[in-house]
Chain A
Amino acid sequence: MQTKQTWRVIDTGLRRAAENMALNKTLLEGHQQGITPHTLRFLQFKPSALLGFHQSAEQELRIDYCAEQGIDIQRRITGGGAIYFDETQIGWELYLDKQTLGTADMSKIARRICEAAARGISTLGVDARYRPRNDIEVDGRKISGTGGAFDGDSILYQGTLLVDFDVERMLRVLRIPAEKLSDKAIASARERVANLKDLLGAVPDMVRVKQSISQAFAEEFGVVFEAGELNEQEQALYGESLAEIDTPEWVYQHNRPANETAVLENIVKSEGGLMRVAVSVDQARQRIKQIWITGDFFVNPRRMVADLEAALKDTPIAEMAENVHRFFDHYPVEMLLLRREDFITAITGALDGEREAAGTA
C-alpha cells in the first residue's frame, strides 16, 4: 500500500486583516523559498474591507464608512475584487506548487481547487457547485468567492465561506451604485448570496465546517493533513511581512481617483417588463468591470441574471453585444416577452449615457 503524503494544516484563528495578509505573503514566499511545506490554512477576520491586489481603495470602498465603523482596510496579495470579511466567515487557503498540481494552467488549477472546496461544503448538507471563473454557489447564490496569487512555481489559492453574513453591511462598505442600497435592492442582493446559517437553519459547528473542507482537499490530492504551527523561519519572515503590509503605503499604493471608474445607470421598459441596469466601467481600458441587472421581468431559471452578470465581467465595451449573444446561444432559459436584445439595449443605453457625460467633461 502506498503511504500518503502528509501536508500541514494550520488554523491561525481570528486576526486583524494586516496579520492575515502578512501571513499570506509569508507562506507564499516561504513556499517559494522551500521553507514552507504544502499547507492548508484556515483563518478568520476582525471586520475588514479587503481590496484585490491591483485595486484602489478610493475606487472600490467607502473609506469614511469603514473608518466610522472601525472596519480595517487592507490589500490582498491575490487578485479579484474588493470584499467585506468579518467573524461570520471562514477563510481557507492552500499553498502548493504547479508540479504537485500537475499543470501550469491557471484556470485548471482554480477549477480543481474550487470543485474540491465545493464538495467539502456540500457534505455539510447543501448543494455547493463551482461557478467559473471564481465562485462557489448554492442554487445560483454565491457562498464562496476565491482568488489566487503565484510566485514562481508556488501558488496560493484562497476562498471565503459565508457562514452567516450581513449583506447590507457589505453593500455599505463597497462603492456600488446608491440605487443598490434601497430596501428592494438589498433584498435582491440578499437573494444572490447564500450563507450556511440560512441554508441549514442554524450556524453549523465551525470545527465541522473546517473538517469538511480539509477532508475534501485530502481526498482530492490523495494526502493526509496534520495539524502544525509556523516554523521558526516562517516566524522570522512573518515579522518582515507584517512590517511591510501593516502600513498605509501598502494599503493605498495603487490609489487612483474614484472618478476613473464610472457607474452608469439606465432604465428601460420593454414588453417583458422594467429593467434597471448599472454598469461600472474602467474608463482607461474601455471595459465593463461589473454589471448589475434588476427588474420585474420574468426569467427561468432566475439565476440566469446572475450568470449573465458574471459572463459580462471584464468585457471590452466594443464586444458587449457579441458577449450577450454568445451567452444566450449556450444558455437554456425561458423568458416571458423578454428578448436578449432588451438586455443589449439597456446596457448600450447606460454606456451611451457615459459617452455623453464624458463628452461634456
Chain B
Amino acid sequence: MDCNQCEFRPELYYDDEFQIWVSREDNGDYLVGMTDISQTIAGRILHVRVRRPGTRRPMGKPVATLESGKWAGPVPNLMDCIIVEGNQAVLEQPGLLNRDPYGAWIARVRPMDANQDVLAPFVTGEQARKGYCARAQAEDIHCKRLKD
C-alpha cells in the first residue's frame, strides 16, 4: 500500500490518529515519539520540552510540548504515567525528530499501574499500517525528511 512516502514501523504502537508511537522497554518503561506523519505536518521542529522527571502525567495531559514555525502544541498522551526522562539528544537538537522520527524518542515514561494493559488504547501491526496509510492519503500528507 502506498503511504505517500510516510515510513511505518509495524512493531510500534500508535494512537488512533497516528500522531505518536510508543514502544515497551524490557524494564516495563515505555518510549514515546512522534510519527513520520506528525513530523512532516509540524515542519522543522525548533523546540521540545519534556516535563520534569518524576512528574505524573495522567491520560490526556501531555508529556512534552513542541514548537515549529511559530506553532506550539502538546505531544498527545494516552497513558497515566510518570516521566522518567526526556531524550537529551532531542532536547538539544529538536531537528532529530525531523530526520529520524522513529529513532529519536522524546520521553521515557513509566505507567502508574504496571499491571494495567497500558497498550489497550493503541493500535499496532498490519491493522495500524492500514489506518496510518489511510490518514496519509485522506489528508494528502506526503512525508519528507528535513536534513536540518
- Contacting residues, chain A, for B71 (C-beta < 8 A): 78-79, 106, 110, 147-150
User: Given A105-B41, A314-B46, A147 and B93 touching (CB < 8 A)?
Assistant: no
Query: Which residues does B use to contact A, with CB under 8 Å?
Result: 41-44, 46-47, 49, 65, 67-74, 76, 92-95, 139-141, 148
Convert A47-63 into 0s and 1s, putting 1 for each residue whose CB lies closer than 8 angstroms to a CB of B: 00000111000000000
For A107, give its contact among B43, B94, B139 (CB under 8 Å): B43
For A151, give its contact among B42, B68, B74 (CB under 8 Å): B74
- Contacting residues, chain A, for B49 (C-beta < 8 A): 54, 254
Query: Which residues does A use to contact B, with CB under 8 Å?
Result: 52-54, 77-80, 103-107, 110, 133-134, 146-152, 254, 284-285, 314, 316
Nearest CB of chain A from residue B22's CB, rounded to whole Å: 17
| Cα distance, A110 to B71, chains bound together (Å) | 9
Is the beta-carbon distance between A52 and B43 smaller than 8 angstroms?
no
| Cα distance, A123 to B116, chains bound together (Å) | 59
- Contacting residues, chain A, for B148 (C-beta < 8 A): 316
For A54, give its contact among B65, B76, B92, B93 (CB under 8 Å): B65
Is the beta-carbon distance between A79 and B70 smaller than 8 angstroms?
yes
- Contacting residues, chain A, for B42 (C-beta < 8 A): 106
User: Given A53-B67, A151-B73, A106 and B43 touching (CB < 8 A)?
Assistant: yes
Is the beta-carbon distance between A285 and B93 smaller than 8 angstroms?
yes
Is the beta-carbon distance between B69 and A54 smaller than 8 angstroms?
no
- Contacting residues, chain B, for A77 (C-beta < 8 A): 72
Is the beta-carbon distance between B70 and A78 smaller than 8 angstroms?
yes
Closest to B93 in A: A285
| Cα distance, A17 to B49, chains bound together (Å) | 23
8 A-B pairs with least C-beta separation: A80-B70, A147-B70, A79-B72, A150-B73, A54-B47, A53-B72, A79-B67, A79-B70
Is the beta-carbon distance between A54 and B73 smaller than 8 angstroms?
no
- Contacting residues, chain B, for A133 (C-beta < 8 A): 69-70
9 contacting pairs across A/B (C-beta < 8 A): A77-B72, A79-B70, A80-B70, A103-B140, A105-B41, A110-B69, A149-B72, A150-B71, A284-B92
- Contacting residues, chain A, for B141 (C-beta < 8 A): 104-105
- Contacting residues, chain B, for A150 (C-beta < 8 A): 71-73
Is the beta-carbon distance between A79 and B69 smaller than 8 angstroms?
yes
Is the beta-carbon distance between B70 and A148 smaller than 8 angstroms?
yes
Nearest CB of chain B from residue A83's CB, rounded to whole Å: 11
Is the beta-carbon distance between B72 and A106 smaller than 8 angstroms?
no
| Cα distance, A317 to B94, chains bound together (Å) | 15
Is the beta-carbon distance between B41 and A53 smaller than 8 angstroms?
no
- Which among A103, A284, A285 has the highest number of chain B CB atoms within 10 Å? A285
| Cα distance, A226 to B111, chains bound together (Å) | 46
- Which among A77, A106, A151, A314 has the highest number of chain B CB atoms within 10 Å? A106
Closest to A132 in B: B69
